Chain A
Amino acid sequence: MAAEHHNGMQCNEFDALLSDALDQVLSGPKAQAFQAHAKTCAVCGPLLAEAEAGKRWLEQLVEVEPPVHLVHNILAATTGIDTARLHAPATAQTQASWFDRLRNWASLVVSPVFAVVKQPRFAMSFGMAFFSLSISLSLTGVKLSDVRHADLRPSAIRRSYYETTGKVVKYYENIRFVYEIESRVREFKRATTPAEPAPEKKDNHQRNDNTSGQPDDKQQRNYSRGDSQVILAALPDNPPVVRFASETQATLRRML
């Protein structure tokens, strides 16, 4: 804008006051000088008219309605992005917490047991207990494989209990039978041996002196179970020798 001077006001000064004049905030001597410049300046006069017209045109423009989905779209684009960003780790956290909760629960239940079992002395006791149990079971005829495949229904358990109990009782009876026989044998021994305690001793001495003590020892044993047994035992092999042997024995007894 040319720096022309009209009525004490330059064109750039007019330009600076133009908007205020249109806003109707210009008053006093400034407003008078402004109006005077507008009337006389060939550039600023039309500018005032056009600016005023332009302002009125713009006042014709009414506010337009935004699209109905604008707010929704903005919220989806903003909080949507945010929820995708913030809620993703949150969701992962909830999922993780489920696993954590389950794991914690499991460890709460299991870990004390394992903690005890993991200790060497308990592990040893555990092992020993299992070992002795398996030995006891195998002695009674129960195989671990059978136990593993055992039917665990109450009736089946009852049946296996009675079977096992029967086996244990049989085992016990067998052992009792063995001990009974052994004790009877001991009683029989005691009943037969007191009659000749000394000759047995002397016999032992003789046998110790005798270089060929092996057959004598055999015979001596036979004696302890009765003479008839010895004879019967000797008969099939060589009756004369046996007879001789019994004769020798009788002779020996007579000599003693």
Chain B
Amino acid sequence: MEDAQLAAMLVRRCVAGDAAAWEELVQRYNRRIYNICYRFAGSADDAQDLTQEVFIKMYRTLKSYDLERGAFMTWVTTITRNLLVDHFRKTKQDRMTDSLDTAPSEQEDAMPLSDRIPDHGPSPDAHSQSREVGETVQRALQKLSPDLREAVILRDLNDLDYREIATVLKVPEGTVKSRINRGRAELARLLQRTYKQVM
């Protein structure tokens, strides 16, 4: 609540032409938006470009944001998600033209996730191990369908509630919950298979 009130105040100041308020909004939200983009796109470069696009769009449409209607974070996430969908469609088209005669499932079988996991020796420390785990989970996440991927990212990484996610994705809350369930389960199956092969 306090966060939402602060955001509303900052938005009002931005609309009034306060550059410092805009900078504060960027400072407060860039990390969250960058993480959504990074987890969805799986690339630091893409995430940076996408985050920048999100803020440019925010800046241009800040006046149209209705403070009474919805939480600022929901609005920002909706902008982000819409840009991610555009990005996915664009890159999907690129991928399809890159490998027209290779079915995604065949490619997945031919090149399992474990092939890209670095050689397992004894890990030097817990930090690098958790980093390796993080990279593995990130790669598995990339294999989820975008519908499931965005649902689990918004819920498990961004802590949005089901109602907020339903607003962002413009689907019923039941559909959101179902996607989250399937997304989590699919991710676990992918990772279980990977780690079974590795171990």
Contacts and interface: CB of A to CB of B under 8 A. Distances in A.
Interface of A: 15-16, 18-20, 22, 47, 49-55, 57-64, 66-67, 70-71, 73-75, 77-79, 81-82
Contacts, number: 120
A77 B55 contact: yes
Contacts of B180: 19
Interface of B: 19, 22-23, 26-27, 30-31, 34-35, 38-39, 44, 47-48, 51-52, 55-56, 59, 130, 133-134, 137-138, 140-141, 152, 155-157, 162, 174, 177-178, 180-181, 183-189, 191-192
Contact of A18 (B39, B152, B181, B191): B181
A77 B130 contact: no
Given A55-B156, A58-B157, A73-B52, A78 B31 contact: no
Contacts of B156: 55, 58-59, 61
Given A79-B19, A79-B22, A82-B59, A15 B181 contact: yes
A78 to B, nearest CB: 4
A51 B48 contact: no
- Main secondary structure on B side of the interface with A: helix
B134 A60 contact: yes
28 contacts: A15-B181, A16-B177, A19-B180, A50-B185, A50-B186, A51-B184, A51-B185, A51-B188, A53-B188, A53-B191, A54-B187, A55-B156, A58-B187, A60-B137, A61-B137, A62-B134, A66-B31, A66-B34, A66-B35, A66-B48, A67-B44, A67-B48, A70-B30, A70-B51, A78-B22, A78-B26, A78-B59, A79-B23
A53 B186 CA distance: 10
A19, A52, A54, A63 — which one has the most chain B CB atoms within 10 A of its CB? A54
A81 B53 CA distance: 13
A54 B23 contact: no
Nearest to B183: A54
A55 B184 contact: yes
Given A47-B185, A77-B52, A79-B22, A58 B137 contact: yes
Contacts of B38: 64
B54 to A, nearest CB: 9
Contacts of A70: 30, 34, 48, 51-52
